[in-house]
Each structure stands twice: as C-alpha cells, then as structure tokens.
Chains A and B, each alone.
Chain A
Amino acid sequence: GAGVSQSPRYKVAKRGQDVALRCDPISGHVSLFWYQQALGQGPEFLTYFQNEAQLDKSGLPSDRFFAERPEGSVSTLKIQRTQQEDSAVYLCASSPAPEAEQYFGPGTRLTVT
C-alpha cells in the first residue's frame, strides 16, 4: 500500500522567501508528526496533530514556523521569511494511533541560499 508521501522532495529558497511543505499521511492514520533533521543529526520533533487538532507545537523553533492539518488528512508545514539555519530535511510521520509505530515519509530537503 501507499506509504507517507511528501512534496516537494527538494526545495531551494532564497533567504526571506516563504515555503510550504506538504505531507500526505497513510490513509486512516490519525496521528501526524513533523520532524526537522539537520545535516549529520537525528530528526528533532517539531509538532504533532491528532486528526485536525494540533496538540503539541513545542518543537517549532520560532513563530516563522506554522503547521496545519485542516481536514485531518494532508498537512502543510509553512516557513515564513526563511533563514539559512532553516536548511534541513523536514520529515513527516504518521501513525494509526497516538502511541503506535510512526511511519516516516522520505522528507523534503530545504536549502536556503
């Protein structure tokens, strides 16, 4: 079956531009997570949704980061006024229940120049 998909796979943005990263979770998965993975590091938690409700956004690094999941399925991570330090791979994961195994997408590699 289809796994988690993310688009675009690669994004180059000039500093100051806004970007939107999309995540299509596995159908029927209620939980959705966003992680940020800097080069040479493990993923770091950004935010969590249960259906359409954003229950935890404690990992978002600044108010330039915003995530939504309006219909409890597809999610978008938006970064406003991108900075060089935002360059990273952004991973989305979904799970059928809050404490169940998380299935990761391939990530979007964001490069800010």
Chain B
Amino acid sequence: GQQLNQSPQSMFIQEGEDVSMNCTSSSIFNTWLWYKQEPGEGPVLLIALYKAGELTSNGRLTAQFGITRKDSFLNISASIPSDVGIYFCAGPELSGSARQLTFGSGTQLTVLP
C-alpha cells in the first residue's frame, strides 16, 4: 500500500511560536487530511484538502495540498498549551466502496510554557 512520510517526528516549542510540519508520499493522493490525537483519544479531523494547490485554514491552523499531489504541510500559528498532541497526515485509498485511510507516523508536538 501507499506510505506517508511525516516530519519532524517530534517538536518542542515555546508557547507563542509558530509550528510547521509536513508529509510526503511516493504516490499521488487526491485528498489530504490532517488529524490530531490526544492521549487516550482517537484522532480528530482538523483540516481536509481536496484540490492540488489548495490552501485551507481552520483558526490558527493552515494546511496546503502540494501541487504535485504528493505532499502537504500543516502550520500552527501562535501555539498554545492545548496544541499539545500528535498530528497525523492521512490520505484515503479507495478500497471497494469506501475510503480506508493511510496515516503517516505522526509528529509529536510539545508546547513549553
């Protein structure tokens, strides 16, 4: 199946700083998804991207769908303590009649006060 390479693996930042993380694939995706997972919880969808070159914002979060359709990045501006968690990129593979998701290995974000 397809693989998603996510970087960096972990980040330690000061509260108020901006954060950037990215995801690359060896295959083309038609949709890119960014999820956040907090301890003891399942992933929660943050942003969905459907078109190459698309730039989408959700509050302090901004994500872009790369022109080649093989990469995406997520930016978080003015980080706050509640941004702590693991951020995953994901792409759907059409399987049968549903979209099974392929996930990256995640970026662990720690925000220091």
Say yes or no for B74: interface residue by CB 8 A criterion: no
Are A56 and B95 in contact, with the CB atoms below 8 A?
yes
Mark A residues whose CB is within 8 Å of B.
Answer: 4, 9, 31, 33, 35, 40-45, 48, 50, 55-56, 58-59, 91, 93, 98-99, 101-102, 104-107
- Given that A55-B96, A58-B95, A101-B48 are known contacts, is A45 also in contact with B42, CB under 8 Å in the complex? no
**Total residue contacts A-B, CB cutoff 8 A:** 66
Closest to A32 in B: B98
Whole-angstrom distance from the CB of B53 to the nearest CB of chain A? 22
Q: Chain B contacts of A59 at CB under 8 A?
A: 100
Q: Is the interface of B mostly helix, strand, loop or mixed?
A: strand
Q: Chain A contacts of B42 at CB under 8 A?
A: 4, 91, 93, 104-107
Mark B residues whose CB is within 8 Å of A.
Answer: 4, 6, 40-45, 48, 88, 90, 92, 95-106
Whole-angstrom distance from the CB of A77 to the nearest CB of chain B? 15
CA distance A4 to B43 in the complex (A): 12
Whole-angstrom distance from the CB of A50 to the nearest CB of chain B? 6
- Given that A56-B95, A106-B41, A107-B42 are known contacts, is A40 also in contact with B100, CB under 8 Å in the complex? no
Q: Ordered nearest first, which 7 A-B pairs have the shortest CB separation?
A: A104-B42, A42-B103, A98-B98, A45-B100, A55-B96, A56-B96, A98-B97
User: What are 16 A-B pairs at a CB distance below 8 A?
Assistant: A31-B98, A35-B101, A40-B106, A42-B103, A45-B100, A55-B97, A58-B95, A91-B42, A91-B43, A93-B42, A98-B97, A98-B99, A102-B45, A104-B43, A106-B40, A107-B41
Whole-angstrom distance from the CB of A25 to the nearest CB of chain B? 12
CA distance A31 to B41 in the complex (A): 20
Are A42 and B90 in contact, with the CB atoms below 8 A?
yes
Q: Which of A42, A58, A106 contacts B88 (CB 8 A)?
A: A42
Q: Chain A contacts of B104 at CB under 8 A?
A: 42
Q: Which of B40, B44, B95 contacts A104 (CB 8 A)?
A: B44
Whole-angstrom distance from the CB of A58 to the nearest CB of chain B? 7
Are A55 and B103 in contact, with the CB atoms below 8 A?
no
